[in-house]
Chains A and B, each alone.
Chain A
Amino acid sequence: MNMPNETHVLRLRLTPQAYVWGRVCLVVCMLGMVTGVARADRVATDLIALYEFTEAKGDTVRDRSRAGTPIDLVIDKPGNVQWRHGALVIQRGVAIRSVERARRLTDAIKQSNALTVEAWVKPANTRQDGPARIVTMSDNTSNRNITLGQDGGKYDARLRSGSTSENGIPSTASPNNSLSTDLTHVVYTRDASGNARIYLNGKQSASKKVGGKLDNWNTRYHLILANELTGDRPWLGEMHLVAIYKKALSPKEVEQNFMAGGGTVITAAMRDTSAKLFEAEVAPILARHCLECHGWKSKKGKLDLSQRNLAQAGGKSGQVILPGSAAKSELFKQVLSNDMPDDRPPLSRREKQLLRHWIDTGAVWSTASIERSAYVKPIEPGGNWLRRLTVTEYIETVRVAVGVDIAEDARATLPRDLRADGFSNTAYNLGVDMAHVEGFAKLARTVAQRMDVPKFAVRFTKQRKFDDATLKPMIAAMGKWLLRGPLEPREIDAYLSVAQAVRKEGGDFDEAVSFIVEAMLQSPRFVYRVEKQRGDGKPQPVTGYELASRLSYILWGGPPDDALLRAAAKGELSTKAQVEAQARRMLRDPRARKHSQQFIYEWLDLGRLDYMRPNAKKFPKWEDALAADMRAETLAFYDEVVWKQARPMNDLFNAQVTIVTPRLAHHYGLTPGTSGGVTRYDLSGLPARGGLLTQGSVLTVGGDEGSMVTRGLFVLHSVLRGHVEDPPPCVDTTPVPTKPGLSQRGVALARLANPACGGCHARFEPLAFGLEKFDGLGVHHEKDHHGNTLRDDGELAIPGRDKPIKYQSSAQLMDLLAASDRVKQTMTWKATQWAIGRPLDESDTAILEDIHKAAQRGGGTYSSLLTAIVTSDLVRKTRTEPQP
């Protein structure tokens, strides 16, 4: 583990205030260990002088090493230089020298017997020599301690030691023609053993033995940049950074500084700030403003800003982000000048400030990649809506709570829950209309009438005396069950008043219980999942009862059972292990299996099949019952793969089995079963069919024509979690009809070749090539109705992956999808959104990574995924708002 990682482990232990950052740091450390990626901060140990040239004006270059009394430098001819974006451009001869002698530096190096001179420079030409002084501690052209200079097409370092002259000769030089006029990272080191090295852009370029001690260094010399003290060895070019260490940097440290670019020393605290900024602000900024052109697919200028490694490597013109120095980062320069985003509105002033601050504090990436789909449609993280029970949850809750099946009535009475952001349980969209209020009242009455009230009441009291003393504890016990947690006295009194009204009207005990149930079923604590949302503005653990409800609604789609409520009462839902144990118990319950179907129903929008209206002329044999059969196929297939075979979720894409009705079997061209009921088919001998994407329920998303656009978008959005802009639908959006000699593939290829369309369409249409042999209703053909031969080969372009993967058949496509970690991640994201009932946003990304890893460690099954979700902080904690 390298130094920065150790620093962060330490910080993880010592920083109690932010669990999030601790986790983020841990992720960073882990990623560092796994990938071996060089840290993007500079080496700070044994630094004794640092010049960043960020002054922007004036005649003084400040020493920012904080290593003692600063050794500031003065420009003797300010008119010969120009400050430009964090660099000093030396246009004519000038000497930049320390006001005082560089005694502090000399003493330190003499003591350590080792040093490093490092510079980020851009020579004006490859001709200046002498050597032309870049960095020197010397008195004149013949006496020096150290000089790093340019000698035509190479760098040259002269070091006074026990084995060299007072002029530092023999020198150490980089190879001929190794010097260019590009911005270059040049480092000279000499260790205590006498090993001298020159590194260019992070790689060793020359080495030499320069033995002897450095105790012969002259303490009277000044530190001078860009010239000899005598003014006759001028160097012209740009200086971006100069640093001196009292040790020889190791090759790894040199690489680290090279990766860090020219900038400030980055402390652990700064990295924390940077990481926080990245997650909260910068990733969204990059996602919204940059990734359209510099994302995984477009990569304009060969720059991909969507992934940490690639973003740090830079593009065609080199590094664009220099951690520690926004002023020197091309990305920031372009943004600052509004040259970027190209042909788009510029960043706001605040966004620019955030970007600058992020880079200046280290440009830390807290995640390996930016998930653009999490940012392009930002949801205010502050919006914390309590969740109304969906109609399905309401039905299940009534069934469990009082044993009445109210499904038919509820579906006829309550407004349908509408999909928002891909799911119909999205909390912000679970509003309440008058029809809900009327419906809840009417349904509560119906439920109460259908209940066996005496049998229900006896669960909570053995007495039947119709007085307050009997009723109060009965209400408390009944309320705890129906309302999923203990009642407060004010609530007990409110329900007692209902009983009193019954008594006043001459009613009896059972009638009172009936009306109390009616009241409770309309209570906000029944209709909603009420939680404490007030706090200090930070995430806080939910209470035991709240967690019990979260677990039960996520895993069962209904209320907690006695065991969960007991655990909540005893405080046995407070640790992750306790929650995990409950989750495992609950996942063994048939309710979990049944409820899990809701996930795939929502994810694939299987409700859409209710509204299919294929063109009767094109599909004269269509019957509406086929749509229901298609949905049933997918649900049965899901149950088979996920539960009966307990396979990983991603096997849904290539499992060679299906279960269909005779009608659908006939539609698909399979031999209908003889039993009259559904039949299980082993598809291993039929490779073209097998997996979700080959089922009619999914294939019909493409409409009558089996649109490659629509199918491709479905795969991109719902399977690969990719993002593509909504159209412009080019100039003329009228679809080109197929004809003899022109198949759907041909139409798509023409579209991809069109520069106006191809840029975006290339990201999703090829995803549907493998489905070309399936017509709009999912029937497999080798030729279309014109006689054109159909193909199923294509390319799979996975967001975040460098190159598309070719496939030769739809079966191969399904295998690729099933094996893709991107697909596995999508399952994690989709299931998590479904579980927590809100769109995921940028603040969730780190936790999602944890969930995903945990789920995959557990085999990637539905059970492991849901267990990872419910044991995560997304479920065990809640966002809070300060008291107004």
Chain B
Amino acid sequence: MTQRQPVSRRTAIKGLGGVAIGLPFLEEMTATSAAAAVAKTPAVPVRAFNVFFGLGIPAPLQTEGFDGVLEPLRPLSKKLLIMRNVDQVRCDEKGINAHFDGASGAFTAEPPDGEAKSGGPSIDQVIRKAHYPNGMPAGMVPTLVGGTFFRRSRVSRYVHSYNDDGTVAAAMQEKPRDLFNRVFGGADIPKTEAEMRRLRISKSVLDSTVEQYRYYTGPNSPLGAASKARVKDHLDRIREFEKRAFRMALHGKTPKQPPKSKLLHGGQADPGGQGIDITLQELTEEWRLMADLYALAIQTDRVRFGALTFLAAGERIRLTGRYEYAGRKIWDFDDSKQLNASGDKGCSHEWWHKFNEKRKNEQLRAHAHMKMNEVAYFLSRLDDADSREANGRTILENALFTVSTESGDGRHSNVKRELSGVFHAISGANGRFKTGQIMDVGAEGIDVYNSMLDGMGVSNRLGPARRDGRAVDGIRV
């Protein structure tokens, strides 16, 4: 597998020239009143991230616990609550298979509302709005959405953070360099007096721009709610830009970019839904760089909310390569050959369609195991020494990480089966939720999510206002 050295905060900050990136935002940690109001322990802000992986784990395989495809999560088992038997059937949109509506329901518990909209907000955004009603600390990335994926016919296959109105909470960063620039990018440093002079005038240009945007988000704005929210979003990014362009320039340091991606992106990554050939080495190398950078963004407190995707819903890749775990061979991937098909029918997601609990399902197991290994990689990056925080816990323990997927069974022929038993795992969120268990919650995803919101001190709820919810208290400490 990948030979690349992980990016750590320590080395990154050193490489970036010290405090230029990290400190302005680390300073905010202790000044966040919302965080202080909720978290009993000092200097631990409220954070929530959604981690999505495509295609899912069939419910019968989840019952095998860490002896099966969940094995890679075993090292983190004490810091996670694995939830089985979570029902997302309400997310079904008739006539649409679970790749789309199940993926849209992950973290929102709502079916999609259009090709690029969710039916409601995702839990990370509900938490963000509740704890940071006036926006994030200046200069912080409000929401970071990233991922390594290839299928992109509909947005909710790969974006997993949504605003109240169902629109995406932030643009997807699908290349490590793009994500890096989104988080750590800076402006050109003025070197001459002429450039400094231009910078000062540009500040007035930006001030006038901010003023215009502020007007359209204010009480006299002629805009309706959705438009106002859109302009507010724009204003947040201008302020972030302002912070970056002027503060970082004065610090005099800009980060060094990671290398260009070698993989296909954009429309080329999904040529007509026919799938692409990719090796395990190529896949994991880019993903792990993405995971490192996302983790670094959290560690340096540049971001507190967002979503990360490892392979899209209904992903179409023809994977090849030897997969080893803990020194033993798990599988030799060669989807197209093993499926005896080319194009989309030679892609790994066919194994999900062919799932049969009475059979070995070797290929599906290998893919699912690999996915868990990569999810575990990301989570473990937030559980290392660089991630130890003031209260003695790691970021994985302090923040809320919700891991989920699109379906509980890859066979499309039965909606109930397909959207029942959808895998979920959460972290403890600084002692708010139980960890170290595999729990059969036997509840709807919407009730699980709302119980999580309750646990996070958020009064807003997902789903219809008049719905009679059921508290899933078993997950709470």
A interface with B by C-beta (< 8 Å): 288, 292, 344, 376-380, 382-386, 388, 415-416, 418-422, 426, 428-429, 431-438, 441, 445, 490-491, 494-495, 497-498, 500-502, 505, 507, 515, 518-519, 522-525, 527-528, 530-534, 607-608, 610-613, 615, 700-701, 703-705, 724-735, 839, 879-881, 884
Contact = CB atoms under 8 A, between A and B. Distances in A.
Contact of B116 (A429, A436, A437): A429
Contacts of B272: 608, 611-612, 700-701, 703
Contacts of B182: 433-435
A379 B413 contact: no
B294 interface: no
Contact of B216 (A292, A385, A530, A735): A530
Query: Which residue of A382, A388, A525, A533 has the most chain B CB atoms within 10 A of its CB atom?
Result: A533
Contacts of B268: 610-611, 613
Interface in B135-192: 141, 155, 165, 167-168, 170-171, 178, 181-182, 185
Contacts of B342: 615
A494 B223 contact: no
A502 B200 CA distance: 9
A701 B353 CA distance: 24
A416 B266 contact: yes
Interface string B410-427: 001100000000000000
A734 B345 CA distance: 6
A519 B227 CA distance: 21
Contacts of A498: 201, 204-205, 208
Contact of A532 (B222, B237, B340): B222
Query: Which residue of B93, B212, B350, B353 has the most chain A CB atoms within 10 A of its CB atom?
Result: B212
Given A533-B224, A701-B272, 12 more contacts: A344-B94, A377-B114, A386-B223, A419-B115, A420-B116, A435-B181, A437-B237, A437-B240, A501-B203, A505-B201, A524-B231, A734-B341
Given A420-B115, A421-B115, A491-B212, A519 B205 contact: yes
A501 B200 CA distance: 8
B200 A385 contact: no
Contact of A518 (B205, B237, B341): B205
Given A531-B222, A733-B350, A415 B171 contact: yes
Contacts of B167: 385, 428-429, 431
B115 to A, nearest CB: 5
A277 B420 CA distance: 35
A561 B267 CA distance: 35
Interface stretch (B95-103, B358-366, B378-386, B392-400): B95-103
A495 B208 contact: yes
A207 B255 CA distance: 98
B225 A292 contact: no
Contact of B211 (A288, A494, A839): A494
B114 A524 contact: no
Query: Which residue of B93, B114, B216 has the most chain A CB atoms within 10 A of its CB atom?
Result: B114
Contacts of B412: 727-729
6 closest residue pairs by CB, A with B: A725-B95, A433-B171, A420-B116, A501-B204, A533-B224, A386-B227
A431 B163 CA distance: 11
B320 interface: no
B237 A379 contact: no
B185 to A, nearest CB: 8
A879 B227 CA distance: 12
Contact of A525 (B185, B212, B354): B212
A179 to B, nearest CB: 44
Nearest to B90: A345
Nearest to B418: A728
Nearest to B215: A490
B183 to A, nearest CB: 9
B95 A428 contact: no
A490 B345 CA distance: 60
18 contacts: A344-B94, A383-B226, A386-B231, A420-B114, A431-B168, A434-B237, A435-B171, A497-B208, A519-B209, A522-B206, A523-B212, A524-B216, A613-B268, A700-B272, A705-B343, A724-B95, A726-B96, A884-B225
A522 B205 contact: yes
B230 interface: yes
B274 interface: yes
Contacts of B178: 435
B476 interface: no
B208 A607 contact: no
Contacts of B238: 437
Nearest to B231: A524
Contacts of A419: 115
Nearest to B414: A728
Interface residues of A: mostly helix, strand, loop or mixed? loop
Contacts of A415: 171
B5 to A, nearest CB: 28
Contacts of B206: 441, 522
A608 B222 contact: no
A817 B271 CA distance: 28
A335 B377 CA distance: 51
B223 A530 contact: yes
Contact of B114 (A421, A530, A726): A421
A735 B204 contact: no
Contacts of B100: 726
B339 interface: yes
Contacts of A607: 267
A534 B224 contact: yes
Contacts of B354: 732
B251 interface: no
Contacts of B170: 433
A533 B209 contact: no
Contact of A704 (B155, B225, B227, B343): B343
B395 to A, nearest CB: 23
Contact of B267 (A435, A523, A610): A610
A794 to B, nearest CB: 24
A533 B94 contact: no
A518 B205 CA distance: 7
B473 interface: no
Query: Which residue of A426, A501, A502 has the most chain B CB atoms within 10 A of its CB atom?
Result: A501
Contact of B155 (A429, A441, A703): A429
B64 interface: no
B118 to A, nearest CB: 11
B350 to A, nearest CB: 7
B197 interface: yes
A418 B181 CA distance: 20
B207 interface: yes
B56 to A, nearest CB: 17
Interface string B233-259: 110011011000100000000000000
B113 interface: yes
A445 B222 CA distance: 29
B204 A528 contact: no
A881 B272 CA distance: 40
Contacts of A734: 339-341, 345, 350
Nearest to B213: A524
Nearest to A384: B224
Contacts of A418: 116, 155
Given A379-B113, A437-B234, A533 B95 contact: no
B413 A731 contact: yes
A731 to B, nearest CB: 7
A494 B208 contact: yes
A382 B168 CA distance: 18
B117 interface: yes
Contacts of B245: 441
Contact of B271 (A497, A505, A612, A729): A612
A585 B202 CA distance: 41
Contacts of B93: 377
A363 B80 CA distance: 55
A292 B95 contact: yes
Nearest to A760: B95
Contacts of B226: 382-385, 428
A502 B201 contact: yes
